[in-house]
Amino acid sequence: MALQEKLDRFNKQQEKCQSMLSNIAAKSSSSRAAVAPKPAPAPPFSGARPSAPVKFSNDTERLQHINSIRKSPVGAQMKRVIDILFQSRQAFTPEQINEACYVDVNGNRDVFEGLRKNPKVYYDGKRFSYKAKHDVKNKNELLVLIRKFIEGIAVIDLKDAYPNVMEDLQALKAAGQIWLLSNFDSQEDIAFPNDPRVPIKVDDDLKELFRSIELPRDMLDIEKDLQKNGMKPATNTAKRRAAAQVQGISAKPKPKQKNKEFSKKAKLTNAHLPELFQNLKSS
């Protein structure tokens, strides 16, 4: 009888221990479920390729390039800006200039003031733009401008008017609406108006007389003769030569004559301007 009681007591202890172990296991599993993070949802699939990472070496070279520009002389930085304005013919804010050519206009007071006072730059208080000497934008406006200068206008003053101005000058010349004659002293072209609505007849004697007139070899003498006769020269050789001396620019050497028969004793006459009489040969 005593043995049976001990056996029953032992079975009860086993059941109690089993119940405690079950409770401990249940609590442990519930705590793990509460602490474990939920997996993040997968990002939606995109067919676009990921952008290539910027290499450190390339970025370093770019920063060095920007730094070299901003440490360059003020004149060099201004030239970069004016080149951008000339090529684009658009108005740029200082921030846009910085993006286009890495010149920090707002951060460099000397560059800002130099651009604001430059005769080739127009500043409206917010934007910088290129300022040509003559405000013309197409062939028709160019022809109207040239007709205002009866005494002629230097082509060098028209070159920066708009991108294809030189092509329009040649087209006007081919159409007989203007003359393009070279300046003997500087070899620069002068544009003269030629109105085909005014018929002009010139006698052969007058043509011959014009061709036989001896001209001075120095452009200064030619300008003086024009002024004596009440005409205004299209050029100012004295002023140009004085400016060249101040800037230390030497005069261009005159090219040697290839014709062996030409000598210093030869006379320079109006015969070197045959274009003036191309349309008058039949008169």
* Cα gap 112→104, rounded to integer Å: 9
Give the residue-averaged pLDDT of 82-100. 92
Q: Residue 89 is encoded by which pair of tokens? A: 């013919």
Residue holding tokens 């056996």? 7
pLDDT in tens, 137-172: 999 999 999 999 988 899 999 998 988 999 999 999
Q: Residue 277 is encoded by which pair of tokens? A: 């009489």
Task: Please give the residue that has the higher pLDDT: either 41 or 89.
Answer: 89
For residue 42, the model assigns a pLDDT of 44
- Which pLDDT band, with edges at 50, 70 and 90, does 274 fall under? low
CB-CB contact of 184 with 219 (8 Å): yes
* Cα gap 134→233, rounded to integer Å: 19
131: Cβ contacts below 8 Å, ≥ 6 apart: 119, 120, 121, 122
pLDDT in tens, 168-182: 999 999 988 998 887
Per CATH, 62-130 and 139-193 having the same topology is answered yes
- Which pLDDT band, with edges at 50, 70 and 90, does 51 fall under? low
Domain boundaries, the chain: 62-130, 139-193, 204-240
178: nearest Cα among 190, 188, 167: 190
Task: Please give the residue that has the higher pLDDT: either 73 or 197.
Answer: 73
Q: Three-state SS for 89?
A: coil
CA distances from 253 to 87, 186, 189 (A): 32, 10, 18
What class, spelled out in words, does domain 62-130 have in CATH? mainly alpha
Q: Residue 135 is encoded by which pair of tokens? A: 């405000």
Q: What is the pTM of this model?
A: 0.48
Q: How many degrees, rounded to 5, is the angle at CA 14 between CA 9 and CA 20? A: 130
What class, spelled out in words, does domain 139-193 have in CATH? mainly alpha
> 69-78, 204-213, 256-265: which has the minimum mean pLDDT?
256-265
For residue 219, the model assigns a pLDDT of 85
Give the residue-averaged pLDDT of 78-90. 92
Q: Residue 253 is encoded by which pair of tokens? A: 């050497």
Residue 245, CB-side half-sphere exposure with 13 Å CA sphere: 6
Residue holding tokens 């320079």? 268
For residue 207, the model assigns a pLDDT of 83
Q: Does residue 45 surpass a pLDDT of 50? A: no
